[in-house]
Structure 1
Amino acid sequence: MSLLELDGVKVHFPVKKGVFFDRTVGHVYAVDGVSLKVEAGQTYGLVGESGCGKTTLGRAVLRLVDITGGEVVFDGTDLAKLPDEEMRKIRHRLQMVFQDPLGSLNPRQNIESILSEGMAAHGIGADQEERRTRIKKILAEVGLPANALSRYPHEFSGGQRQRIGIARALVLEPDVIICDEPVSALDVSIQAQVINLLEELQESKGLTYLVIAHDLAVVRHISDVIGVMYLGSLVEEATSDALYAGPRHPYTKALMSAVPVPDPDVEDRRERILLHGDLPSPASPPAGCRFHTRCPWKQETRCATERPELTVVADGHRVACHFAAEIEAGTVERTRATGIEAVTDTPPEVQ
């Protein structure tokens, strides 16, 4: 059994109106039926455009947002059905490293207070002295000195603050850490250090990661399996090598084509797949395939009316596209002009 398994997870936020906002007039379908598995010791990378539901899905695993439907099974226990008190007891085994290292740390607490607060709440350490000893050990593991205990978040650099965020997760002895854009707020030179640190900690402690990131190079480097999300749904999933060697979904192809190639000759010759139009509103998603409004290979008769299932097309490679095989074989023509000759738009930002 997988350590973490999501089955048909949905997170729908009600849209309220009225004088007292007491009337529900619709929903925002932030996450709408996501199923995936994360094996123990594995790193699962989650990518997609801003607003596709990645962060909401990560927060749903920790029950930081209410789960509308589906199951979140962790180590054999469905977290979606756990009473709040039972969830609090198990939460130390699932921790999160947030995107903004400064915004996620209380500026009025010193580092010892920040790191020991969760330990005290979960009964880790017999007393403050024992907790302080453990904190010093964890700080050393993440590359921070012991004298950091008495200092405050604003006294550290961005990279150091992210190390503190990682230490805060580690002191609770977690099995799974959800990393929400863990390096996006850092300088490029610091990003590599933090990524290397996460990999070293995973190897030494047997950690399991769910990494949410917009940088496809970072995701490729750190992930064993990658899932691509679009408008609240998972549209493709494969091992890191398989996804980058041969993306099957049109959306994934577009994302990959937007990644710069360091060789200028190759960059000039390679094809660029442009996505026309804006991302549809998650409050009113399109019928049928949710990507069909921007897809260069769409076939109106089916794509606009029938929602595709995430099906296996190769060993461990799943795609939610009616015509993935035909697109791969080149038997389906594009319905819109694409390619380097037609480049007039900026490639979509991947977040």
Structure 2
Amino acid sequence: MSQLMSADTGTNEAAAGGSSLLEVHDLKVHFPIRSGILVDRTIGHVRAVDGVSLTVERGSTYGLVGESGCGKTTLGRAVLRLVDITDGQVWFDGTDLAHLGSEQMRRQRRNLQMVFQDPLGSLNPRQNIQSILTEGLQVHGLSTDRQDTRRRIVQALDDVGMSGRALSRYPHEFSGGQRQRIGIARALVLEPELIICDEPVSALDVSIQAQVLNLLEELQRERGLTYLVIAHDLAVVRHVSDTVGVMYLGSLVEEADSDTLYAQPRHPYTRALMSAVPVPDPTVEDSRERILLHGDLPSPSNPPAGCRFHTRCPWSQPQRCAEERPELRTIAPGHRVACHFAEEIAEGTLQRN
């Protein structure tokens, strides 16, 4: 990835008019661990996000995948400044969000919206749908008069396949899929450029998941939206993403376009995730390679030295993996991997432990 920020000029590619809408450079989010009753002191940090760099092209979908605790949701919230950024830059359309004041960031949030994992918990149960959809317009000064406001929110509901008759009802009166459509409508009503979807279908039935994913793709085509989709389900990410990034313990370990990543995963962690995805063909399912990971995910407050995955990696080489942290390097155009032995593993010249 090219350098996003010049140490001398402070310029970046997005500011120069490039095709990227969002550029995250060396982002770190560390939460302090505190101890003491009379004297509050910091005794360590949870490194939830620890040096992640990625680029989301305008009008595309970037899928961020990894198991629970890898830091992907924290990264999404850091982009929106919903959690404090410890270090790094978040460039959105030429503006570094990481260093904006609160009022400047509030104005930017119209262009960056979020769809949350829990469609019921993200909606205020004491407000009807009209109030929920109107609130954002009022906060950002876009509610000029009642007629215009109603037109906007009815249009947003129509775009997600909901009727304007829903405006007087409350969240508990809808199904999970309908509530998620309302959550999407709440984001759409502000006409944002980027929507961060945090596990947008994980709380829904499988049949409803497909409907919501198809809706997101349709809205992207019609409105030119850009998505950052966060998920643990590899099938979901593959279905909607142009580019996929795999996170492990706060770091990005592999990144490639969707077809390449699923056809030729190079990092051992990605290969293990892929091998756990069921295949509908019984013959292929019975014959394909399984990669089992041993042990639990290490604590982000005390990550292993060297390669953070080496404690669970079937190909780990103690002479190097336990001591030297691998760089996220380019092994093919558009394909980056953080593994010392990615080529040897792919060629089969490095044996498992």
Do these two structures clear the TM 0.5 threshold for a shared fold by scoring above it? Answer: yes
SS at match of 1:253: helix
AA aligned opposite 1:267: E
Query: In 2, distance between residues paired with 1:312 and 1:123?
Result: 45
2:264 aligned partner, one-letter code: G
Q: Deviations over 1:230-267 (max 9, x none)?
A: 00000000000000110000000000000011111211
The Cα shift of 1:11 comes to 0.2
Amino acid at match of 2:212: V
Q: Is structure 2 residue 156 aligned with structure 1 residue 138?
A: yes
**What amino acid does structure 2 have at the position aligned with 1:11?**
V
2:62 is the counterpart of 1:44: yes
Specify the alignment match of 2:265 in structure 1: 247
Distance 1:148 1:260 in 2: 38
**Equivalent of residue 216 in structure 1, options 231, 234, 247:** 234
Q: In the alignment, what sits opposite 1:234?
A: 252
Q: Spell out the pairing of 1:158-307 with structure 2 (5 A cutoff).
A: 158-307=176-325
Paired with 1:129 and 1:111, the residues of 2 have a C-alpha distance of 16
Shift of 1:289: 0.3
Deviation at 1:21, TM superposition (A): 6.9
Aligned partner letter, 1:264: P
Residue 30 of structure 2 corresponds to: 12
Give the corresponding residue for 1:313.
331
Match of 2:3 in 1: none
Distance 1:239 1:103, change over 3 A: same
Per-residue deviation, 1:179: 0.2
Distance 2:315 2:164 in 1: 57
Task: Give % identity.
Answer: 76
TM-score normalised to the size of structure 1?
A: 0.94
Is the counterpart of residue 24 in structure 1 residue 11 in structure 2?
Answer: no
User: Which residue does 2:13 correspond to in 1?
Assistant: none
Alignment length, in residue pairs? 335
1:174-213: per-residue Cα shift (whole Å, max 9, x none)?
0000000000000111111100100000000000000001
Candidates 53, 58, 70, aligned match of 2:88: 70
Question: What is the alpha-carbon distance in structure 2 between the residues aligned to residue 20 and residue 285 of structure 1?
Answer: 29
Structure 1 residue ranges (4+ consecutive) displaced by more than 4 angstroms after TM superposition: none
Cα drift, residue 20 of structure 1 = 5.2
Q: Deviations over 1:119-140 (max 9, x none)?
A: 1110113123311111001101
Distance across 1 between alignment mates of 2:216 and 2:285: 31
Q: How far does residue 17 in structure 1 lie from its aligned partner after superposition? A: 0.8
What residue is the counterpart of 1:151 in the other structure? Answer: 169
CA distance in 1, matches of 2:38, 2:229: 39
Secondary structure of the structure 2 residue equivalent to 1:302: coil
For the aligned residue pairs, the C-alpha RMSD in angstroms reads: 0.8
TM-score, normalization: structure 2? 0.94
C-alpha distance in 1, partners of 2:191/2:179?
19
Structure 1: distance between partners of 2:181 and 2:38: 43
Distance 1:214 1:250 in 2: 17
Secondary structure at the counterpart of residue 70 of structure 1: strand
Q: Per-residue displacement from partner, 1:97-150 (whole Å, max 9, x unpaired)? A: 000000000000000101101111101131233111110011011011111111
Instruction: Structure 1 unaligned segments of length 5 or more: list them.
Output: 336-351
Amino acid at match of 2:222: S
Structure 2 unaligned blocks of 5 or more:
1-17
SS of 1:101's equivalent in the other structure is: coil
Q: Which residue of 2 aligns with 1:126?
A: 144
Label 1:21 to 1:80 Cα distance change in 2 as closer, same or farther (>3 A): farther
CA shift, 1:330, in A, is 1.4
**1:17-66 per-position Cα deviation (integer Å, ceiling 9, x unaligned):** 11157211100000000000000000000000100000000000000000
Partner of 1:339: none
Structure of higher RCO (CA pairs closer than 8 Å, 6+ residues apart): 1
Partner of 2:108: 90
2:300, 2:233 → 1: CA distance? Answer: 23
Q: Which residue of 2 aligns with 1:331?
A: 349
The aligned counterpart of 2:6 is: none
Name the amino acid aligned to 1:278. Answer: D
